[in-house]
Chain A
């Protein structure tokens, strides 16, 4: 069965990736989903400024950035006092597929983890599924983010 998305015309997205190729490709995917308000940045430092100014609803970031990491950015979004929105939907799109890295991102409160390479369809399905998830966030110990398996968080 084909998947129908919501209307995303009012959604604002920030793409953070050190490689122009991935920024352009993801922007292209989002355009085809009807998203027009997109900012692309290539570094962690610029991304933090952009997130605070542009006030996006979704941040799509790579793990490895030229001047930092997407994981640090995610932690800032979830925990920093100056975070504009601690409930931001954060998607990590990265080539890192090692289990320990995926777990680290989940423990830091990422909403969705997508491994590169990704097809347009796989990306769009995960994007749509992630945006449709309106469950409340949870605080478990140091953890703040979308609902997770609690035993996993305590490991």
Chain B
């Protein structure tokens, strides 16, 4: 078979752009929610969300105090796991570290440790996307853990962590590097 000349191939491509293949319309079947599955919502009005949220926040104080203890344990567990297994990071270890870091990021802001939440979020993204941020992933994760540990220790003493500004700068740097990679940029949701 004789290959089409380059200009011919370009013309073919141009035609494809102008007349893209039709996108198949999916068959959609609508299924009404049967009566037995409908929610038994009362006729009377319920509560005002703003008022209920304020009440809930007051009532959550005890739960959040309890959460701080659980949070401390999580930070310890993450450290133990990393110390034991950082080199090399196998897929199983990676998953465990990710899961623990994920728990930490979920709980951090609730127990008033937003910086730890930010570091843990960056840690999760680095692990999940296997981001090449110009340094060894294991090293980066360890550095992030160091940030979490130190911030947590400072919070226990009711002190501001002296390297907070530095950590924020590094996190921004990591985020920028990840965003500059088009493959990673599309996968980062926040």
Contact = CB atoms under 8 A, between A and B. Distances in A.
Contacts, number: 171
B45 A5 contact: yes
A102 interface: yes
Given A7-B45, A21-B107, A120 B189 contact: no
A34 B59 CA distance: 14
B31 A137 contact: yes
A49 B24 CA distance: 40
Contacts of A4: 45-49
Interface string A66-94: 00000000000000000001111100001
A117 B102 CA distance: 11
A139 B103 CA distance: 34
Interface in A127-155: 128, 131, 134, 136-141, 144, 150-151, 153-154
A99 B56 CA distance: 30
Interface of A: 2-11, 19-22, 24-25, 28-29, 31-34, 57-58, 64, 85-89, 94-100, 102, 116-117, 119-121, 124-125, 128, 131, 134, 136-141, 144, 150-151, 153-154
Interface of B: 23-24, 26-34, 36-57, 59-60, 63-64, 66-67, 70, 99, 102-103, 105-110, 117, 121, 124-125, 128-129, 186-190
Given A32-B56, A120-B60, 4 more contacts: A11-B41, A25-B64, A28-B60, A102-B189
